[in-house]
Amino acid sequence: MEIKTLQYFVRIAKEESITRAANALHITQPTLSRQIKELETELDVKLFKRSNHNIHLTDEGLLLKNRAEELIEMSRKIQEEFKVIDRNIEGNVYIGCGETKGMEIIANIFKEIQTHHPKVHFHIYSGNAEDIASRLDKGLLDFGLLIQPVNLNKYKALDLPTFDHWGVIAKKDDTLSEKDYVTKTDLSKEALICSRQVLETNIEENEFAEWFGHLYKDLNIVSTFNLAYNAGWMVKANMGYVVTLDSIVNTSVESELKFVPLEPKLIAKHNLVWRKDHTFSKAAQLFLEKAIEACY
């Protein structure tokens, strides 16, 4: 008695028709009928009874269906467990990450891997795209979690199903905080504090620059940063508005700062990248496989 035969049997019970089951399973009706006949012979019972144009389970068939579903589920679990069990997988995985909500996916993958492979250890380097790219190129990192806009030409890249929203950080008592959103006209004459990454001129598709359009070259940028947390202090000091992503600077109820989104909406996509010529350890290869699974 094979699992596949039991799967066929359960499908027939569900469809109440050999013809419909055969179509769903993409096999011929005679082949499916023969499989069920052999199963009945093996068990020495009648599994189905006919009624008009449908077939129904006998008492013996109902008992087998319950047992078959248990066996099929157990088979699936065994296969899943042995896909991840490899007692030889251990070692270190080095990942550079920008400040982004995309880290949630990465952290969940870390947890899944360490549950089955406790000897795999993850090491996070936090930085902007320039810092991470430099360490990738030197072979100090296996992967980088990058936030657009960024030049991906040198790397293999995986698009993550996450993104951040662009906006500005303002003090809660500022007139800009009274708005539901800000436009490029609102910001065209204001003092801005921007990430150095979005000011790069060698990025082929800089959506940030495209959003500002002809106003981009005349923006009043009074300061730049590579990580946004410290930029929040400059807003508190009334230096200007931080142009950044949501969920990076503390804008909780207790904070004196507020995030106001851009309009039209501008999102920053996330990419997991790695060097095209990089040779992965077993641990790093497992991480990549899990990341691909999480994205598709």
Output DSSP code: residue 228.
S
Same domain as 253, residue 208: yes
Same domain as 274, residue 148: yes
- The predicted pLDDT at position 204 comes to 61
Same domain as 198, residue 112: no
Distances (CA, A) of 273 to 102, 120, 121, 159, 232: 13, 20, 19, 9, 28
pLDDT tens sequence across 94-138: 999 988 888 999 999 999 999 989 999 999 998 888 889 989 999
Distances (CA, A) of 236 to 183, 226, 249, 255: 22, 18, 12, 10
pLDDT band at residue 252, thresholds of 50, 70 and 90?
A: confident
pLDDT tens sequence across 37-46: 999 999 999 9
Q: Is the pTM of this model over 0.75?
A: no
Same domain as 218, residue 134: no
Same domain as 118, residue 69: no
Q: Name the amino acid, one letter, at 248.
A: I
Same domain as 259, residue 183: yes
Q: Distance (Å, rounded) from C-alpha 291 to C-alpha 296?
A: 9
Same domain as 286, residue 139: yes
Of the three residues 33, 61, 84, the one that is the final residue of a domain is: 84
The alpha-carbon radius of gyration of the chain (Å, integer) is 29
| Mean pLDDT in residue range 225-236 | 87
Same domain as 145, residue 101: yes
Q: Name the amino acid, one letter, at 190.
A: E
pLDDT tens sequence across 141-175: 999 999 888 888 889 999 999 989 999 999 999 99
- The predicted pLDDT at position 83 comes to 65
Of the three residues 84, 118, 145, the one that is the final residue of a domain is: 84
Same domain as 153, residue 289: yes
Segments of the chain assigned E as strands: 48-51, 54-57, 91-97, 120-126, 143-147, 155-171, 191-195, 220-225, 241-245, 257-261, 267-275
Task: Give the mean pLDDT of the chain.
Answer: 89
Same domain as 97, residue 171: no
- The predicted pLDDT at position 84 comes to 56
pLDDT tens sequence across 57-100: 999 999 999 999 989 988 887 877 676 555 678 889 999 998 88
Same domain as 232, residue 194: yes
* Residues of the domain holding 192: 165-266
Of the three residues 52, 84, 116, the one that is the final residue of a domain is: 84
How many independent structural domains does the chain possess?
3
CATH of the domain at 190: 3.40.190.10
CATH of the domain at 11: 1.10.10.10
| Mean pLDDT in residue range 251-263 | 91
pLDDT tens sequence across 3-51: 999 999 999 999 999 999 999 888 999 999 999 999 999 999 999 998 8
Same domain as 178, residue 259: yes
